[in-house]
Amino acid sequence: MLLALTSLLGAPGGIPSFNRLLCRAAAEFAVSTGQRLSVLALTDQPGSEPGFVQSLPQTTQPPTYQAFAGDKLRFASSVLRHVGRAQPVVLGHVNLSPLGLPFGRFGVIAHGTDVWTALPRYRRWALGQAHVAAGVSEHTLAQLCQVQGVFVGHCQRLINALDEQSLTLAQQNPSTADEQSQRLRLLSITRLHPDEPKGIDLVIRSLPTLPLVDYDVVGEGDAQPQLQKLAHELGVADRVHFLGRLSEAAKHAALARCHALVLPSSNEGFGIVYLEAMAHQKPCLAARVGGAPEVVLDEETGLVTEPAWQAVRDGILRLHDATLRQRLGRAGQRRLLQHFTYPAFARHAFALFSRLC
């Protein structure tokens, strides 16, 4: 059994988090079917987290893991060495689709924005040859069919989920937000890349008309200087705090301090950060774009707005209502525990692996 992934260990973000769950499910499937699991990770650095693979379920044939530090040629050669001796085969990103062709029967996972625009012709054709193309949201599945031309019968939903470590950290960090305070503390957790419209600028633009709001931003990237400049120009820099990249423990402490998570992103195929907030019973504000509205249910577990600063401002104004926040937060946690935990993820993953055998 082979998993060929873009990234797994030592990197932040939704895709590595998803891939760690995928590895766990694959290891369990390999044990149940008497196979050996091989995991190849393109961008991982050797030695980034050696204990992870040893922690996976295993029999007399323990899983193997190899990191390639971005060496595409060596990665591709290692994938192709499994031709004829590995089944099922799952490629963790649509850009890896051509590597599946020599296997004849392979699966590919689409995470969201990777399929929102047409892939280069050969890559798109290779994706269409996959026996199963799995998507993390219904929106992603629709883009696979409508934009990439994948046959609907080859598509399968593979939900995202929150791992037990995050659930435990949420339990260990009960809310420290003062629900009686007139001041509102908002939090965003995201990469800060110029080509990824995460909506941080929309929140900053709303702050001049929201004098009782403080805003914390967790994450790093090349967009940070421009966002800081925007906050200075609008006169709100004293209320916008860029906290950088935090450890998992510190991130969950920040979630415990905030009143709500706001990420009006136009760039989410799913949005694992919404699940992290829901674990803390924090309401979420998301944009009506991509897969986010499937995670954050408008008026039920959070507020879903148009990706414009005026709409974001109006949503934030409503979050000053503590009763509304608490209702949305409790409903969010219930939805998380019902639909987005590892057992549900594993059921979907086992269905994918079984179709490929």
Same domain flag for 334 and 347: no
Strand partners, 39: 3, 65
3-state secondary structure 93-104: CHHHHHHHHHHC
CA-to-CA separations, 200 to 216, 307, 309, in angstroms, rounded: 10, 11, 10
DSSP states of 289-341: STTHHHHS-BTTTEEEE-SSHHHHHHHHHHTT-HHHHHHHHHHHHHHHHHHSB
Inform me whether the pLDDT recorded for 73 exceeds 90.
Answer: yes
Higher pLDDT, 357 or 281: 281
The single-letter DSSP state of residue 154 is G
The answer to whether 172 touches 255, Cβ cutoff 8 Å, is: no
Rounded average pLDDT over 232-236 = 98
CATH number at 323 reads: 3.40.50.2000
Angle formed at CA 340 by CA 216 and CA 96, multiple of 5 degrees: 85
Question: Over the stretch 236-266, which tens digit does the pLDDT of each residue have?
Answer: 999 999 999 999 999 999 999 999 999 999 9
Asked if residue 307 has pLDDT above 90, the reply is: yes
Q: Are residues 212 and 102 in the same domain?
A: no
Is 144 found in the same domain as 189? Answer: no
pLDDT at residue 150, rounded to an integer: 96
Q: What percent of the chain has pLDDT over 90?
A: 87
Q: Both 30 and 111 in a single domain?
A: yes
Same domain, 319 and 346: no
Q: Are residues 156 and 168 in the same domain?
A: no
pLDDT 10s digits, 20-31: 999 999 999 999
Residue 184: both structure tokens together: 């509102």
Section 135-156 average pLDDT: 96
Domain check: are 316 and 350 in the same one?
no
Question: Does residue 77 have a pLDDT over 90?
Answer: yes
Inter-residue contact 281 to 25 (CB < 8 Å): no
Average pLDDT value for the chain: 94
- Give the residue numbers spanning the domain of 303: 164-339
Whether residues 118 and 219 share a domain: the answer is no
Number of domains in the chain: 2
Lowest mean pLDDT among 3-12, 170-179, 247-256, 273-282: 3-12
Q: What pLDDT band is residue 58 in, cutting at 50, 70 and 90?
A: confident
Neighbours of 324 (CB within 10 A): 15
Residue 50 has pLDDT above 70, yes or no: no
For 29, the token pair is: 């499937």
pLDDT in the model for residue 267 = 86
CA distance 178 to 186: 12
pLDDT per position as a tens digit, 181-214? 999 999 999 999 998 899 999 999 999 999 999 9
pLDDT interval class at 232 (50, 70, 90):
very high
Could you read off the pLDDT of 86-96 as tens digits, one per residue? 789 999 999 99
pLDDT (0 to 100) of residue 49 = 63
DSSP assignment of 195-225: TS--SHHHHHHHGGG-TTEEEEEEB--TTHH
> Are 198 and 175 contained in the same domain?
yes
